[in-house]
C-alpha cells in the first residue's frame, strides 16, 4: 500500500510539473476569468467539454506576432501573460500548451501528443507540426482518455473526442462527425488517424496522431520553423479566428469572414486601420495598425 501511495504521489507531482511548466504556479482564477468560465471545475469529462468550448469562444487562434516580428517562446510565464493578461490568442503550441497547465491544475492528467497533417500523394507534414492533448479523468488513468484541441481553428472539435474510438462521435456544436482508426506510423509506432466529416460532406483527409507522450521542448524546433520558414503557412498571411455563440468569425489578412447559423459572409476591409478596428471590436486585441509587415526595429 505504501509503495502504491508513493507511486501515486510521484505521478501527481509529475502531472503538476511538466518540462518547466508548473501548474501549481498557474493563476487558475485569472485563467478561468479570461475564458469567461464560471461553471463546475471538478475534473470530469463534462467539465472538460465545457472548458474546451469556453476556451474556443474566448481565445482566438491567431498568428499575429509572427507578422509583427515578435518571437514566440514556449515559456509558461510568457504564454500566460500573452493569453491571459494581454487577452491575446496564439497557435497550437501556445494554446494547447497553456490549456494543458490549466487542466493539470484542476486535477486532470494530461499528455502532449504530436500530430501531422496529410499531404497529397500519401505524405505527411513533419513530426511536431501540431500539438494536441490527451486528457484523463481522475480514476481513469488507464483508460483511453479524451482527445482535446483548442489550438486548431475551425477544424478543431469543440468537445472531447474519446481517444481511439472507432465509432463515429458527433460534435454537438456543428454536427461534424469524428472517428479514429489505428494506423502505425512509418517507424511502426502506435499512431492513430483522426477523421473528420462535416455535415453533408465526405470524410476529409485525416490527421495522424502519435500516441507517444511528449514534452513541450520537443515542439520547440518546429515552433521556430513555423514562425520563420517561408514554406510555413503561418508566415504566408495573418489569421485570427474564434468560435462565436452562433458560428465563427475569422480575419484572414484583410478578409473578414463571419458565419452565423450556417450562413457565411465575406468582405474585404479597406486598410490596416480597419483591420486594427476589427481586431479590437471582434477579438479584443489592441494592436497598432502597422500593416502586415513586421514592426520597425526599436
* Residue positions annotated with a catalytic role: 92, 130, 149
The predicted pLDDT at position 11 comes to: 43
3-class state of residue 272 by DSSP: helix
The predicted pLDDT at position 145 comes to: 95
Give buried/exposed letters for 190-204 (b at 16+ CB in 10 A, else e). ebbebbbbeeeeeee
Residues 109, 210, single domain; the answer is yes
Q: Which domain holds residue 206?
A: 2-220
In contact, 244 and 234? CB cutoff 8 Å? no
CATH of the domain at 124: 3.30.2140.20
* Alpha-carbon separation of residue 32 from 1, 58, 68, 207 (angstroms): 36, 10, 28, 29
Residues 207, 261, single domain; the answer is no
The predicted pLDDT at position 231 comes to: 94
Tell me the pLDDT of the chain (298 aa) as tens digits.
334 334 334 344 444 556 567 777 899 999 999 999 999 999 999 999 999 999 999 999 999 999 999 999 999 999 999 999 999 999 999 999 999 999 999 999 999 999 999 998 889 999 999 999 999 999 887 889 999 999 998 889 999 999 988 899 999 988 999 999 998 766 767 899 999 999 999 999 999 999 999 999 999 999 999 999 999 999 999 999 999 999 999 999 999 999 998 899 999 999 999 999 999 999 999 986 555 544 433 3
The predicted pLDDT at position 289 comes to: 56
* Among 277, 274, 273, 248, CA closest to 262: 248
Residues 272, 152, single domain; the answer is no
Residues 49, 195, single domain; the answer is yes
Domain contains 80:
yes
The predicted pLDDT at position 245 comes to: 92
Q: In the 3-class helix/strand/coil scheme, how is 4-26 assigned residue by residue?
A: HHHHHHHHHHHHHEECCEEHHHC
Domain contains 229:
no
Domain contains 57:
yes
Domain contains 228:
no
Q: How many domains does the chain have?
A: 2
In contact, 160 and 178? CB cutoff 8 Å? no
Domain contains 232:
no
Amino acid at each position: 500500500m505504501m509503495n502504491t501511495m508513493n507511486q501515486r504521489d510521484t505521478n501527481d507531482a509529475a502531472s503538476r510539473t511538466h518540462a518547466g511548466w508548473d501548474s501549481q504556479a498557474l493563476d487558475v482564477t485569472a485563467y478561468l476569468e479570461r475564458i469567461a468560465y464560471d461553471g463546475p471545475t471538478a475534473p470530469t469529462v463534462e467539465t472538460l467539454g465545457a472548458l474546451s468550448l469556453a476556451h474556443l469562444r474566448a481565445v482566438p487562434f491567431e498568428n499575429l506576432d509572427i507578422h509583427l516580428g515578435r518571437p514566440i517562446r514556449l515559456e509558461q510565464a510568457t504564454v500566460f501573460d500573452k493569453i491571459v493578461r494581454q487577452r491575446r490568442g496564439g497557435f497550437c503550441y501556445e494554446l494547447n500548451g497553456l490549456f494543458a497547465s490549466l487542466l493539470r491544475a484542476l486535477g486532470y492528467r494530461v499528455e502532449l501528443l504530436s500530430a501531422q497533417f496529410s499531404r497529397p500523394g500519401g505524405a505527411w507534414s513533419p513530426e511536431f507540426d501540431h500539438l494536441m492533448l490527451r486528457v484523463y479523468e481522475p480514476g481513469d488513468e488507464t483508460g483511453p482518455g479524451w482527445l482535446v484541441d483548442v489550438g486548431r481553428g475551425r477544424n478543431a472539435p469543440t468537445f472531447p473526442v474519446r481517444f481511439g474510438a472507432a465509432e463515429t462521435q458527433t460534435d454537438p456544436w456543428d454536427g461534424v462527425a469524428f472517428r479514429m482508426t489505428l494506423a502505425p506510423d512509418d517507424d511502426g509506432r502506435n499512431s492513430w488517424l483522426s477523421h473528420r466529416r462535416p455535415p453533408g460532406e465526405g470524410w476529409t483527409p485525416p490527421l495522424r496522431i502519435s500516441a507517444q507522450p511528449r514534452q513541450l521542448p520537443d515542439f520547440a524546433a518546429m515552433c521556430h520553423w513555423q514562425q520563420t520558414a517561408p514554406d510555413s503557412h503561418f508566415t504566408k498571411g495573418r489569421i485570427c479566428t474564434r468560435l462565436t455563440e452562433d458560428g465563427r468569425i475569422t480575419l484572414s489578412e484583410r478578409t473578414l469572414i463571419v458565419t452565423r447559423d450556417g450562413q457565411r459572409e465575406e468582405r474585404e476591409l479597406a486598410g490596416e486601420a480597419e483591420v486594427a478596428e476589427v481586431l479590437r471590436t471582434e477579438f479584443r486585441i489592441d494592436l497598432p495598425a502597422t500593416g502586415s509587415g513586421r514592426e520597425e526595429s526599436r
